[in-house]
Amino acid sequence: MTTVRREAFGRMPAEQGGGEVEKFVLQSDSVKVEILSLGCIIAALETKDRNGKFSDVVLGFDTLEGYTKKHPFFGAVVGRVANRIAKGRFTLDGKEYQLFLNNGPNSLHGGAKGFDKVLWNPQVLPDGVRFFRLSPDGEEGYPGDLKVWVTYTLSGRQLAINYQAQTSKTTPISLTNHAYFNLAGQGSPDVYDHEISIEADSYLPVDDTKIPTGEVAAVQGTRFDLRQPVELGKHLQKFHMDGFDHNFCLQEAQSPRLVARVHHPPTGRTMEVHTTQPGIQFYTGNNLDGSLKGKGGITYPKHSAFCLETQNWPDSVNKPHFPNVLLHPGEEYNSTTWLMFNTA
């Protein structure tokens, strides 16, 4: 049985358009999740350890103020296009589009004011909440009026996130949630004692601006082979890695499949990711540097969280051999990711 509660969370600053931000609390007997109408942000997610003790396992802020200042997309839905587009440029039907460059020479996660920084219209469901917004033609340089729905539903130990969209003009679209997880509990100093596996036979090598080179490389015999669980800290040490920030290529499938699993032996918490998407970005919080004060006044140092962002492949709009990222008028974009929390 899931209960859903809505409450006021704060008001946007006038220079950011004002408007009331609401918080929606979804609760089952084993998971409690708090979601904001700003950016569809997962602001908290509490789950049990093996002794039945609840801890909040996502990074974020206690108050709205934290989310209205610059932060690394904590818990937010990002779009229109998650991840990077090279030089913020693409051509459709002979017309070139230029996006805002907010990540060195590239456009990242929708641009200067992407889906993470806007208010969405909420609708309470019996077991969750659905958010809607219209992204107008030309917003952040993208073509077409895009209607978008993001639906969170909680059932027992499983949080489902469904993304739907319709457009008036052909546009690239790839939506994901950018939650930062630490299964020891947010505020724990690192995720080195987490064991991770990703069901991917290949990954995308990137250039020095994190844009895929176009090669689809086999993980076999490389540091990217995570098909069997590895302990993160030891793995990074063994391969002298600064961390992961890479897209892993998943088997294309219409039906959901298990694509990643993270286990935290000290608490027994596990998280499984199931999705219909063709890719998953594994990111180990390499750019966290302790400068942000999060919940409870705790700072978040490097490697204090991981992200598993289900997505289309980065820069697909410029790489015809990558999975199709274009949505045409009359079609529907529809993608679902399931997060399953257990103890082992």
Say what the pLDDT of residue 344 is: 87
Say what the pLDDT of residue 65 is: 96
Tell whether residue 245 is among the known ligand binding residues. Answer: yes
Of 109, 178, 235, 263, the catalytic one is 178
Residue 141: pLDDT over 90? yes
Tell whether residue 223 is among the known ligand binding residues. Answer: no
* Cβ-contact 167, 327 below 8 angstroms: yes
Say what the pLDDT of residue 57 is: 98
Percent of the chain with pLDDT over 70: 100
Tell whether residue 300 is among the known ligand binding residues. Answer: no
For the beta carbon of residue 127, count every other beta carbon within 10 angstroms.
16
Q: Per residue in 66-110, pLDDT tens?
A: 999 999 999 999 999 999 999 999 999 999 999 999 989 999 999
| Alpha helix positions (H), 107-263 | 232-238
Q: Per residue in 257-280, pLDDT tens?
A: 999 999 999 999 999 999 999 999
* Cβ-contact 323, 164 below 8 angstroms: no
Percent of the chain with pLDDT over 90: 97
Beta bridge partners of 299: 293
* Cβ-contact 13, 66 below 8 angstroms: no
The whole-chain average pLDDT of the chain stands at: 96
Whether 240 is catalytic: no
Q: Residue 213's pLDDT band (boundaries 50, 70, 90)?
A: very high
Whether 235 is catalytic: no
Q: Per residue in 108-126, pLDDT tens?
A: 999 989 999 999 999 999 9
Of 22, 34, 46, 309, the catalytic one is 309
Q: Residue 254's pLDDT band (boundaries 50, 70, 90)?
A: confident
| Structural domain boundaries in the chain | 3-343
Tell whether residue 162 is among the known ligand binding residues. Answer: no
- Of the candidate CATH numbers 3.40.640.10, 2.70.98.10, 3.30.420.40, 3.20.20.80, the domain formed by 3-343 belongs to 2.70.98.10
Cα of 113 vs its chain's centroid, Å: 16
